[in-house]
Amino acid sequence: MMNRRPLIAGNWKMNGLSTGGLALATGIAAKRKAAPDVPCDLLICPPFTLISDVAKAVAGSGIAVGGQDCHAKVSGAHTGDIAAEMLKDVGCSHVIVGHSERRTDHGETDAIVKAKAGAALAAGLAAVICIGETLAQREAGETFAVNRAQLAGSLPDGATAANVVIAYEPVWAIGTGRVATPDQAQEVHAVIRAALQERLGAAEAGAMRILYGGSMKPDNARELLGLPDVDGGLIGGASLKVEDFWAIASASA
């Protein structure tokens, strides 16, 4: 098995005002500085309004900062949208694309997600591409097919292990407290890796990180992060508390 360094990513979603957001970022940076040997990479994805300040607050800590979405176009008449280059400009190295909440709330299709991921790569950002089945799809026995199809449709040309991270987030596990069992997570991650291998070859597929997301918490992180094809976590609720986020990062050791 390849030696993939875990990535522990916090997705703050639409949470955080300046004071609390900065305190959260500086708290995480302090934990990282006090324990630089914890063997994982850290990424935090605040709302757009906090990115610039958070990037300054964590500068020098080794913590990466990402956006939660970007537009597929480079610039232009797209009121309310943010281009990948703008994220890069304020200190981002990553951007999440295709989160299930974007797919649901904003009707984002695989084709749109692919275009956004391509725009991220073109701007020099790494794309964290989210896929995952709904409960109805799981109960209909469509889990593997749905994830394969979303992956095939969302992965941009030029994807490599250096510029793309996949996040498997079963929709029924997001924000519900209902976490995938280790068996459920591992089998889908293995299917995703096999699909990546068909598309990108063994070397890139073996090196690409596949994160699990959906109710990852301090008390279930160690088991999930210990699975052979789980290379980190995309964490929502538990990324909003310094202690919880750090406990998850520490569980990657």
Provide the binding-site residues for ligand PGA, judged by CB under 6 A: 11, 169, 174-175, 213-216, 234-238
Using CA atoms in the order 209, 210, 216, 220, what is the torsion angle rounded to 10 degrees?
-80
**CB of 214: closest distance to ligand PGA in angstroms?**
5
* CB 234 within 8 Å of CB 11: yes
**CB of 92: closest distance to ligand PGA in angstroms?**
17
Catalytic machinery residues: 99, 169
**118 or 213, CB closer to ligand PGA?**
213
Beta-bridge mates of residue 83: 71
Short-list 124, 126, 133, CA closest to 191: 133
- Residue 67: strand, helix, or coil: strand
Rg over CA atoms, the chain? 17
**11 or 186, CB closer to ligand PGA?**
11
**CB of 117: closest distance to ligand PGA in angstroms?**
16
Exposed e or buried b for every residue in 191-204, given b needs 16+ CB within 10 A?
bbbebbeeebeeeb
**CB of 3: closest distance to ligand PGA in angstroms?**
25
**168 or 200, CB closer to ligand PGA?**
168
Cβ atoms within 10 A of the Cβ of 226, count?
Answer: 12
**88 or 102, CB closer to ligand PGA?**
102
